[in-house]
């Protein structure tokens, strides 16, 4: 990025105060900001008391070996005890922990007492397989209760898990098993997606064949597909069915307390270059911040709320806001196995209605998909139970934000746009639903106890109204502790760009009130005629046009302007994307869209080219792969497409653009 700050283009004037009723009874009020500002460490020491410690910590933060942090270092606790047993001991054993909804329509409800028995049995089973504290266990599963049970069983034994998203290939799985040196893998025969069973075990067979240290594979029977037909093989000496091993175990297990800094899990992030980074999270600080933020940001009332996070457990969102945060808080939550459009595009809203979901946490990409399917679909369901709506994963365009509020939240439910990362472990920036006057498209401000700001190239804090880089200026309890096996890479990646500050890799700007707006990864910022322009802002402008459902913007090398803005757009419903082509019939629309952006953001942000497409290339976590679109816009051969949900999307896009650049 050049020395010039990001152009501050988008002006968003809409404001939404918290609903009075919610504000009156909110878990967290404005006082939390004052308290944390006066004594940040004291604030976190206070939050740590939400957990049950076997030995309460007397120290809060040890930063003497920065950037290697220790939080609550002399405290000892067991995470599974905190997420399960203590609720049963408190007399809440009959409360539903998980409402499981399988994609084919099968359901299960597990109370906290059920969960305790299942976690104990699984912990005993893993012990029988030789798993000891400190051993790594890989988990490669569909979204079923056993996945949460397996994670908690590992946590109970102090065996760090490495969950690998079930959509990843055998190759990706093998790399992750090897890097963490996991010797036990927990998987399932398969899971249901888009109306049919998809196999998982064959990928495990392939991955395990490539690494030589896996001793056992524990397999849940979910789909019942014949393994050989799916291309897998059963190895008697290595493989064991969950129902054979776990079901015969005792449902009693005494949890052992571990040091607050004992590793809890490793989760790999792909990043744009190099091998995946194993992000390491530990016990006490992680659970403290996961529990606090879930309580504060969703205003969780565990007695009455029904919470649902639609993320996959394979992502950090699933770790912190399906497994650990909600269960530490004794919440009742929905776990859904499948896709939002199976068997019909109203499936999510049907689930909200069925369980009376009150708190919903999802991603902008899903919201935009629902927008594209049409307003009439959610309108068929009773969504009146919803009272707080969360968003995570990428900047949410103001247009999608308004749609979410109006069509899902009845025009009243506050939206909490939560900014965080795999590395931060838990939410960092977000409005508070009972406090903040929200602005469509902005994560707004650091949560109580979090220190973040926006700086320029020279690490100076930018004034209100200016843009730059988002940095975290103080350590936080759920921060990553290192990259597994590579301390130097941890320092280089996060702590070297700005002295003493954590660089998140995101561009951001402050508005005139000092509120923070995320502008996407800095790799995605374009340099056009000496101006830094955010891909996010141009995308938001395009999506605000009634004919555009989704947009992805990239900067393509340009001899005159350094980079030229190229936009790929999916048109809304009526315009048939399959047949739409960049020809005379669209020329009018393309001009209309260019003029629309120029009017909203200024002529400098006007896309040089706009290309209607049927689909956009996305990773399995829903992030647009701009790198591939840049390849197309610059007429290059495509780079690695293995993390795409659907690799054929790129062929579709390329086939449509014979005249690219």
Cite the annotated binding site by residue number: 193-196, 317, 393-395, 417-422, 506, 521, 529, 543, 545, 548
Work out whether 316 is an interface residue with ligand WT7 (CB under 6 A).
yes
Smallest gap from residue 451 Cβ to ligand WT7 (A): 17
Window contacting ligand WT7 (CB under 6 A); options: 257-265, 488-496, 500-508, 545-553 = 500-508
**340 vs 505 by CB, closer to ligand WT7:** 505
**100 vs 419 by CB, closer to ligand WT7:** 419
Smallest gap from residue 442 Cβ to ligand WT7 (A): 9
The number of beta carbons lying within 10 Å of the beta carbon of residue 409 is 18
Q: Which listed residue (393, 414, 440, 612) binds ligand WT7 by CB under 6 A?
A: 393
Report how far residue 542's alpha carbon sits from residue 568's, in angstroms, rounded to the nearest whole number: 10
Please, where are the H alpha helices in 384-486? 398-403
User: Which of 204, 260, 392 lies closest to 316 in space, CA to CA?
Assistant: 392
**242 vs 502 by CB, closer to ligand WT7:** 502
**5 vs 418 by CB, closer to ligand WT7:** 418
Smallest gap from residue 290 Cβ to ligand WT7 (A): 12
Upstream peptide bond of 637 is cis (omega within 30 degrees of 0)? no
- Cα angle value 581/586/589 (rounded, 5°): 140
Window contacting ligand WT7 (CB under 6 A); options: 107-115, 216-224, 284-292, 411-419 = 411-419
Report how far residue 42's alpha carbon sits from residue 169's, in angstroms, rounded to the nearest whole number: 45
Residues 118-147 contacting ligand WT7, CB under 6 A = none
Helix axes 648-656, 626-633, angle to 10 degrees: 30
Smallest gap from residue 395 Cβ to ligand WT7 (A): 4
Report how far residue 480's alpha carbon sits from residue 491's, in angstroms, rounded to the nearest whole number: 11
Report how far residue 417's alpha carbon sits from residue 444's, in angstroms, rounded to the nearest whole number: 8
Smallest gap from residue 220 Cβ to ligand WT7 (A): 26
Report how far residue 442's alpha carbon sits from residue 439's, in angstroms, rounded to the nearest whole number: 6
Smallest gap from residue 246 Cβ to ligand WT7 (A): 30
**315 vs 355 by CB, closer to ligand WT7:** 315
Work out whether 539 is an interface residue with ligand WT7 (CB under 6 A).
no
Burial 453-477 (b: 16+ CB within 10 A, else e): bbbbeeeeebeeebbbbbbbebbbb
DSSP 190-216: EEEETTEEEE-HHHHHHHHHHSS---E
Structure-token match 């602005």, residue found: 439
- Encoded tokens for 161: 């898990």
**420 vs 502 by CB, closer to ligand WT7:** 420
Burial 226-236 (b: 16+ CB within 10 A, else e): ebeebebeeee
**81 vs 419 by CB, closer to ligand WT7:** 419
Number of residues this chain uses to bind ligand WT7 (CB under 6 A) = 21
Smallest gap from residue 377 Cβ to ligand WT7 (A): 25
Q: Which residues are annotated as a binding site for ATP?
A: 393-395, 417-422, 506, 521
Work out whether 395 is an interface residue with ligand WT7 (CB under 6 A).
yes
Q: How many Cα atoms sit within 13 Å of 590 on the Cβ side? A: 18
Work out whether 444 is an interface residue with ligand WT7 (CB under 6 A).
no
The number of beta carbons lying within 10 Å of the beta carbon of residue 59 is 14
Smallest gap from residue 84 Cβ to ligand WT7 (A): 24
Residue 570 pairs in a beta bridge with: 550
**x/- track of binding to ligand WT7 for residues 613-642 (CB under 6 A):** --------x---------------------
Contacts of 14 (CB under 8 A, 6+ apart): 398, 402, 439, 440
Work out whether 419 is an interface residue with ligand WT7 (CB under 6 A).
yes
Helix axes 284-297, 40-47, angle to 10 degrees: 90
Q: Are 360 and 384 in contact (CB under 8 A)?
A: no
Q: Which listed residue (116, 147, 310, 418) binds ligand WT7 by CB under 6 A?
A: 418
**94 vs 437 by CB, closer to ligand WT7:** 437
Report how far residue 353's alpha carbon sits from residue 349's, in angstroms, rounded to the nearest whole number: 6
**396 vs 611 by CB, closer to ligand WT7:** 396
Q: Which listed residue (317, 332, 438, 643) binds ligand WT7 by CB under 6 A?
A: 317
Residue 298 burial (10 A CB sphere; 0-12, 13-18, 19+): buried
Work out whether 415 is an interface residue with ligand WT7 (CB under 6 A).
no
Work out whether 422 is an interface residue with ligand WT7 (CB under 6 A).
yes
**111 vs 270 by CB, closer to ligand WT7:** 270
Work out whether 468 is an interface residue with ligand WT7 (CB under 6 A).
no
Work out whether 420 is an interface residue with ligand WT7 (CB under 6 A).
yes
Please, where are the H alpha helices in 523-608? 535-543, 584-601
The number of beta carbons lying within 10 Å of the beta carbon of residue 602 is 13
- CA dist list (Å): 575 to 71, 343, 606: 54, 24, 22
**x/- track of binding to ligand WT7 for residues 221-240 (CB under 6 A):** --------------------
**x/- track of binding to ligand WT7 for residues 247-276 (CB under 6 A):** ----------------------x-------
- Helix, strand, or coil here: 479? coil
Window contacting ligand WT7 (CB under 6 A); options: 77-85, 257-265, 415-423, 472-480 = 415-423
User: Which of 407, 339, 343 lies closest to 372 in space, CA to CA?
Assistant: 407
**187 vs 362 by CB, closer to ligand WT7:** 362
- Encoded tokens for 48: 């740590």
Smallest gap from residue 471 Cβ to ligand WT7 (A): 12
**x/- track of binding to ligand WT7 for residues 167-206 (CB under 6 A):** ----------------------------------------
Report how far residue 278's alpha carbon sits from residue 180's, in angstroms, rounded to the nearest whole number: 8
**x/- track of binding to ligand WT7 for residues 503-532 (CB under 6 A):** -xxx-----------x--x-----------
Q: Which listed residue (421, 453, 534, 541) binds ligand WT7 by CB under 6 A?
A: 421
- Encoded tokens for 141: 């599963």
Q: How many Cα atoms sit within 13 Å of 568 on the Cβ side? A: 28
* Contacting positions for ligand WT7 (CB under 6 A): 269, 315-317, 392-395, 417-422, 443, 504-506, 518, 521, 621
């Amino acid at each position: 990025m050049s020395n010039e700050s990001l152009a501050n283009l988008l002006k968003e004037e809409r404001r939404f105060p918290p609903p009075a009723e919610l504000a009156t009874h909110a878990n967290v009020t404005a006082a939390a900001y004052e308290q944390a500002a006066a004594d940040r460490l004291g604030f976190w020491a206070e939050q740590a008391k939400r957990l049950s410690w076997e030995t309460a910590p007397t120290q809060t933060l040890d930063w003497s070996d920065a950037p290697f942090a220790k939080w609550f270092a002399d405290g000892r606790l067991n995470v599974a005890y905190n997420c399960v047993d203590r609720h049963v001991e408190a007399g809440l054993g009959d409360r539903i922990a998980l409402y499981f909804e399988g994609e084919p329509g099968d359901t299960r409800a597990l109370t906290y007492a059920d969960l305790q028995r299942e976690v104990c049995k699984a912990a005993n089973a893993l012990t029988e397989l030789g798993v000891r504290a400190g051993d790594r266990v890989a988990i490669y599963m569909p979204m079923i209760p056993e996945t949460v049970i397996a994670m908690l069983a590992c946590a109970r034994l102090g065996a760090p898990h490495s969950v690998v998203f079930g959509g990843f290939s055998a190759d990706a799985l093998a790399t992750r098993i090897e890097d963490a040196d996991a010797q036990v893998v927990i998987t399932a025969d398969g899971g249901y997606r888009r109306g049919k069973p998809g196999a998982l075990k064959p990928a495990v067979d392939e991955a395990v064949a490539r690494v030589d240290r896996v001793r056992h594979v524990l397999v849940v029977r979910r789909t019942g597909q014949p393994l050989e037909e799916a291309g897998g093989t059963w190895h008697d000496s290595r493989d064991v069915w969950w129902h054979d091993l776990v079901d015969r175990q005792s449902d009693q297990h005494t949890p052992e307390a571990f040091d607050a800094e004992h590793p809890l899990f490793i989760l790999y992030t792909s990043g744009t270059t190099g091998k995946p980074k194993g992000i390491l999270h530990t016990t006490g600080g992680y659970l403290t911040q996961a529990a606090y933020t879930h309580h504060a940001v969703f205003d969780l009332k565990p007695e009455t709320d029904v919470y649902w996070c639609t993320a996959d457990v394979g992502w950090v969102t699933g770790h912190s806001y399906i497994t650990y945060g909600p269960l530490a808080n004794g919440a009742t939550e929905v776990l859904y196995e499948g896709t939002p459009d199976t068997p019909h595009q109203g499936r999510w809203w049907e689930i909200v209605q069925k369980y009376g979901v009150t708190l919903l946490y999802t991603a902008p990409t899903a919201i935009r998909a629902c927008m594209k399917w049409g307003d009439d679909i959610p309108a068929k369901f009773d969504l009146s139970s919803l009272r707080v709506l969360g968003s995570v994963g990428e900047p949410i365009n103001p247009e999608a934000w308004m749609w979410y509020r109006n069509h899902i939240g009845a025009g009243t439910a506050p939206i909490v746009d939560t900014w965080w990362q795999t590395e931060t472990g838990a939410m960092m920036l977000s409005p508070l639903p009972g406090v903040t006057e929200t602005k469509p498209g902005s994560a707004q401000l650091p949560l109580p106890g979090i220190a973040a700001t926006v700086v320029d190239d020279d690490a100076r804090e930018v004034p209100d109204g200016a843009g730059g880089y988002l940095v975290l200026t103080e350590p936080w309890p759920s921060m990553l502790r290192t990259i597994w096996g590579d301390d130097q890479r941890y320092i280089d990646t996060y702590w070297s760009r700005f002295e003493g500050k954590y660089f998140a890799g995101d561009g951001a700007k402050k508005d005139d009130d000092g509120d923070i707006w995320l502008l996407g990864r800095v790799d995605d910022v374009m340099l056009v005629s000496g101006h830094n322009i955010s891909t996010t802002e141009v995308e938001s402008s395009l999506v605000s046009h009634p004919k555009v459902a989704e947009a992805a913007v990239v900067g393509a090398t340009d001899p005159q302007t350094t980079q030229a803005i190229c936009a790929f757009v999916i048109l809304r419903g009526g315009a048939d994307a399959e047949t739409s082509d960049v020809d005379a019939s669209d020329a009018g629309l393309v001009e209309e869209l260019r003029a629309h952006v120029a009017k909203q953001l200024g002529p400098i942000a006007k896309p040089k080219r706009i290309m209607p497409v049927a689909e956009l290339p996305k990773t399995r976590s829903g992030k647009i792969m701009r790198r591939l679109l840049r390849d197309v816009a610059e007429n290059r051969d495509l780079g690695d497409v293995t993390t795409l949900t659907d690799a054929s999307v790129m062929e579709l896009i390329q086939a449509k653009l014979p005249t690219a650049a």
